[in-house]
Amino acid sequence: MASHAAAAARRAAGAWPLLRWGVVAGPFYLAVGVGQALIREGFDFARHPLSVLANGPGGWIQTANFVLTGLMVVAAAAGFRRVLRPRARAVTWFLYGYGLAMIAAALFPADPVDGFPPGTPTGPPTSISTTGLLHFLFGALAFTSLALSSLSAAWTMARRGVPSLALLSLVTGLTVAVGFFGGIFLPIGIVGIWCAVVVGWVWLAVMSLRLPATVS
């Protein structure tokens, strides 16, 4: 029993250098994205997702933001895997998918939309480019993977007897799914997408901080 506990403690300690990237990822992404949005002419938080910042002068900053944050998520997923192995594979693999989809989305910038960058016609776009379509598809894959990772974590944390993390994970999974897809197909619009983004990052940070304590 003592040797098992010691092995669990070593596993948790070894995971922390990776899990800390899960704590950093969300604040980093939001700080870089919101910082740009505040100074870029024409950006409107009520109409535009952060993705469109990849367009126009300085767009490379948001592209780099996607790539670096995606790498942080992949590192965090590796930390999740160390703590949760040999079970709960769905949690980690879907989290890997989230990070990799972010990186892929960075390679295909979203189309200019609704007045941003300046000079873009206002209102909904009348067409979508191949690059814009790929960005949307990888974005949808990213949010789907995040929702499935958190919903899988809800089941895993319930089985481990950590009801607070189980509830957080369940609420996160539902919020991400409804927020993203509702933001596209329902009247909630950009508010839903912002909710999905922020709640998802909060979940990743909290899970990354508390996951080592669940090792048994």
CA 15, 21, 22 angle in degrees (round to 5)?
90
Task: Average the pLDDT over 44-53 and give the result.
Answer: 92
Q: Is the pTM of this model over 0.85?
A: yes
- The parent domain of residue 187 ranges over 2-214
CB atoms within 10 A of CB 118: 11
Give phi and psi for 116, each to the nearest 5: -130, 135
113 - beta bridge partners? 116
Residue 181 CA: distances (Å) to CA of 91, 113, 123, 167, 192: 21, 18, 20, 21, 8
Give phi and psi for 114, each to the nearest 5: 45, 55
Give the Cα separation of 128 and 130 in Å (integer): 7
154 in Cβ contact with 147 (< 8 Å): no
What confidence tens digit (pLDDT) does each residue in 138-189 have?
Answer: 999 999 999 999 999 999 999 999 999 999 999 999 999 999 988 666 666 7
Give the Cα separation of 142 and 117 in Å (integer): 24
**DSSP codes of every residue in 162-195:** -HHHHHHHHHHHHHHHHHHHHHHHSTTHHHHHHH
pLDDT at position 9? 62
- Model confidence at 2, in pLDDT bands (50, 70, 90)? very low
Side-chain-side CA neighbours of residue 205 (13 Å): 15
From the list 178, 174, 139, the residue with the least C-alpha distance to 153 is 174
What confidence tens digit (pLDDT) does each residue in 94-130 have?
Answer: 999 999 999 999 999 999 999 999 999 988 788 899 9
- Model confidence at 87, in pLDDT bands (50, 70, 90)? confident
| 201 three-class SS | helix
Q: What's the total number of domains in the chain?
A: 1
Give the Cα separation of 12 and 55 in Å (integer): 41
Tokens standing for residue 194: 């912002």
